[in-house]
Amino acid sequence: MAETYDIYYALLPELQQTHGKLFSFIFQGAIGVRGPQKMVNRWLKCFMTTKGTDPTNLNYGTQFNSLFFSNVSKLKDIQDLVSVYIDDCNAQIKAFDRKYGLPPEERLQNATLESLLPDGVDGVAIQVLLRNQANASFPLVLPTLTVT
């Protein structure tokens, strides 16, 4: 069986504020990605895609983006909502993994909300821990999407 690769896309933190872009192919040749980075990319893409915006699957994605510019201000409410969105994303990624039989390092075991961190005057950074079936863990911070 041939090796399967995902397309690597880069984060654009400098364009998030001005153009609303989160991801890009950086106008260079696409890079094939496999292993843990493929799992992280698939999870981030699903989590950051607003549910109902993918024309090929209207159930794909989460409502995480609805938190931006919302009037949800209590940390407990944010924590509860983000936990629901993470669970939704986990279910979608696990269903995909079962369907396509990916290797353990590319399959999601679980993603959990680790903490909410103050970010600026009125912002919150969300730390999520992703774990693959090979039992390796990958902490990342949302919405800056930096892997720690």
pLDDT value of residue 101: 84
pLDDT value of residue 106: 92
* CA-based max dimension of the chain: 52
Burial (CB count <10 Å: 0-12, 13-18, 19+), residue 23: middle
pLDDT value of residue 32: 65
pLDDT value of residue 13: 46
pLDDT value of residue 29: 52
Contact 47, 23 (CB under 8 A): no
Query: For the chain, what are the domain ranges?
Result: 6-108
Question: Which tokens belong to 70?
Answer: 């919302």
pLDDT value of residue 60: 94
In the predicted model, residues of the chain with pLDDT beneath 50 are 1, 11-22, 24-25, 27, 147-148
Please give the model's pTM, rounded to 2 decimal places: 0.77
**Phi then psi for 106, rounded to 5 degrees?**
-105, -5
pLDDT value of residue 135: 94
